[in-house]
Structure 1
Amino acid sequence: MLQLYTPILKWKKGEQDALQKLSEEHRKKIIPLIELIDYIEPENFIETIKSCFNYPIYLDTIIAAEDDRDFLLSIIKNSNGLAYPVLYYDDLHETIDKIYPLVKRIAVRLTLPSDIEAPEYEDIFENIRDCKKKFADIEIDLIMDLQVIETKREANIHMSELKMVLEEFCLKDVKILNKILISCTSFPSKLSIKSGETKEFDRLDIKIFKKIYNNKRFSLLRDKLIYSDYGVTKFTDSEIDFSHLQYGILPKIKYTTQDKYIVMKGKKDHKRNVMVVSCFDMSHTIVSANYYYGKEFSFGDNQIYCKAHRLNGHGPGNNGQWVTIVANHHIVALIQQLSNLYDF
């Protein structure tokens, strides 16, 4: 299986549908990281994975059950190898002891820059080395999560620490690390955008990864480096129905290009109770732009085209449907972009 990209998903229904709408070829090129934020019956979760994706995933349950590793273990035991557990420094050995030999691949997740109360990197990597010695046949992936990066200043700070960890630790432990995921997002956590407005945000996330990937100092790591991001749906309320909006939240459309995140916000004339800038209008703006990938590019792009031209009775859709549209486009756009970067 060729792993090009790891999208981080909260497992919203719209995100599940975005995966289900991927082609078989595209599914084979990603390993999503699912961050469960609510409890779900293990059997139901596995069935959902099989029905909408049916390829391996990383699974992180720390938000849904921070102090209950039995929840993670119960899913892993039911997954038949379909879920790779995401573990943390403080429970690495204890948790592996409980799931070995059910799993042959795990991920260890670090947050960069490290918190002042976090353990030293030396201790973290020593723990990983000890784990590899004890469980020699387990593949260990390292996830370095830079989280949200919204300014160039933040990007420079995060880049500096990332380089340090790669140089001082990952290069020395290159033989024990299977894959090294660099995850972050530069999509803003709080959107400040006026009604009827369009804004562009630099994709600092992919720029950071390209800098690292093309850095000759890290050439020994190149075959292990994997790009990972939070996409454009991390901060989305998927319960809004655009067709029933009156004075509430206005619809937004988010579209990923090669180097920008495009965000459009609808506009309503409250006196006349009509949309001045509707989802149809915003869709038409996208398909008319030079950055549009084309209606055959992905399911999401086809849906935008149909809404732009009001084909087949397409309505404005609800926010869950738009999560599917923009997430599906984003994933396929990243697969294409990273395929070109990796020269596949």
Structure 2
Amino acid sequence: MFEKRHYVPILKWKQGEQKAIELLPLTVKQGLTPLLEIPPIDWDFENEAPKKTIDEHLANVSETLSRSWGLDRPLYLDLNFIESNERMASGQHPLGYIFNQLRTDGINAIPVTGTNRDSAYQIEVISAHQRDQLGICIRLTEEDFDDLQVNIDSLLTTLGVDTTEIDLVIDYKYVNPNDRTRTALFISGLINGLPYLNSWRNLILCGTAFPKDLSDVGSNTIDQIERSEWIIWKRLIQTNRVNRTLTFGDYAIANPEPFEADPRLIRMSANIRYTGDDKFIIFKGRDLRKYGHHQYYQLAAQAVAHQEYKGAGFSAGDHYIQEVANQSTTPGNPATWRRAGTNHHLTLVVNELSTVALP
């Protein structure tokens, strides 16, 4: 069982997030267990076809996990974005393929499932648990809440495991800051009414107030977004509204939904996402195609000058921000800034959890 101050970030396993975890010191890694989502295969909008085969898409997953995580402790792995009819060229199910690779490379992983996965997926989850004996992670979303007892019992019967072998994730996904109080009341009632509340191995609450895009943030501005998921978790814990240990989880500096728009039609603006006390701080420039990546020099200087900036020694991400602000390195691109912002965020949350007042 996790201790009270453990952290479960949900991260899409892309280049920026991979490097963000790789650059974490051991002391920070030990304070978290990532739930990693394999992103969907990118779509080639010009040719109206997937950019890769499933074999190409999954070829380096085990290698990147080994390099970035590198711990004996387990991580969670979810293939929720991979189409259910996908199979490797050999005919093998993608989940079985990845777990065989992870096993060979000495990576401990716990399979993530939910009530919406098909029977072939569930068979692979059962097989992974039987071979590795690491348990199973069940991820409940809003669609499950209406008939929770039936949904949970049905899935437990399918998996054939006891609740003591299961880590249960209540994934609220997007939390609208305008509905924070109502959401907190709903979540506390939902959790306290959970079937088998005290017998789950771990109970994890995940969500985020980070929006799907930053279109509501004006160009050349510094804005902020409330970290409602963090505020809700703290209040539930500090007011004893939940009748058992509740682990905190979030989506770092991203929204739960994958990016699926045609990149030819998107006008992405330069931006730095920086997590502060109870808020995300957004330093936003202008259209990258038109005004270029050199905007990041000014944005980084604004971040370093901000009162919430933690200093170059706080994390690898903060060090990178300082380097760009000093113009002693290249201005980077959206992937390097996702790395920097995610690395800072993970470090910050582990530190926050180590100091937050808990009953």
2:114 is the counterpart of 1:88: yes
Q: CA deviation at 1:186?
A: 0.3
Q: Which region of structure 1 is more displaced relative to structure 2, 260-269 or 142-151? A: 260-269
Instruction: Check whether the contact 2:114–2:140 (CA below 8 A) recurs between aligned residues.
Output: yes
When the two structures are aligned, how many residues end up with a matched partner? 321
The separation in 2 between residues aligned to 1:197 and 1:54, in whole angstroms, is 39
Q: Deviations over 1:152-185 (max 9, x none)?
A: 22x3343233222211125x4312x011111111
| Structure 1 residues 236 and 45, CA gap change in structure 2 (3 angstroms) | closer
Take 2:98 and 2:336, find their aligned partners in 1: how far apart are those partners? 28
Matches within 5 A, 1:92-171: 94-103=123-132, 104-112=134-142, 114=143, 120-127=147-154, 130=157, 134-136=160-162, 139-153=165-179, 155-169=180-194
Report deviation, 1:221: 1.1
Task: Provide, for residues 135-155 of structure 1, a one-character-per-residue CA deviation record: whole Å limited to 9, x for no partner.
Answer: 3596200011111112322x3
Question: Which of 333, 336, 339 does residue 324 from structure 1 map onto?
Answer: 339
* 8 Å Cα contact 1:43/1:78 also seen in 2: no
Matched, 1:291 2:293: no
2:72 aligned with 1:52: no
Q: Does the alignment pair 1:255 with 2:252?
A: no
CA distance in 2, matches of 1:285, 1:140: 45
Check conservation: 1:251, 1:265, Cα contact below 8 A: yes
Match of 1:15 in 2: 17
> Under a length normalisation based on structure 1, what TM-score does the superposition of the two structures give?
0.82
Q: 1:58 offset after TM fit, Å?
A: 0.8
| Contact kept? 2:10, 2:34, Cα under 8 Å | yes
1:79 paired with 2:106, answer: no
RMSD: 3.2
Cα pair distance change 1:227/1:101, threshold 3 Å: same
8 A contact 1:307–1:316 mirrored in 2: yes
Q: Secondary structure at the match of 1:180?
A: strand
Q: List gaps (5 residues or longer) in structure 2.
A: 42-53, 88-92, 260-265
Q: Report Cα offsets for 1:14-57 as digits up to 9, x if no partner.
A: 11010111111111221111111234565631121001112322
Which residue is equivalent to 1:187? 210
Structure 2 CA distance, aligned partners of 1:102 and 1:138?
A: 17
For 1:53-111, what per-residue CA distance to the aligned partner results, in whole angstroms no more than 9, with x for missing partners? 12322111021133459211222233236111001125586444433422322110111
- Tell me the percent identity: 24
C-alpha distance in 2 between matches for 1:63 and 1:82: 21
Is residue 152–residue 204 contact of structure 1 (8 Å, CA) maintained in 2? no
- Cα distance in structure 1, aligned partners of 2:162 and 2:292: 61
Gaps of 5+ in 1: 238-246
| CA distance, structure 2, for counterparts of residue 308 and residue 71 of structure 1 | 43
In structure 2, relative to structure 1, the CA distance for the partners of 1:260 and 1:320 (3 Å cut) is: same
Counterpart in the other structure of 1:241: none
Change (3 A) 1:253 1:158: same
Q: SS state of the match for residue 314, structure 2?
A: coil
Per the alignment, in what secondary structure is the counterpart of residue 25 of structure 1? helix
Give the CA deviation at 1:299.
0.2
Moved more, 74-83 or 301-310: 74-83
What secondary structure is seen at the aligned counterpart in 2 of 1:89? coil
Shift, 1:12, TM fit:
1.1
Aligned match of 1:244: none
Displacement after TM superposition at 1:342 (Å): 6.6
State the distance in 2 between where 1:109 and 1:276 align.
38
What is the letter of the counterpart of residue 210 of structure 1?
K
User: Is 2:37 aligned against 1:35?
Assistant: yes
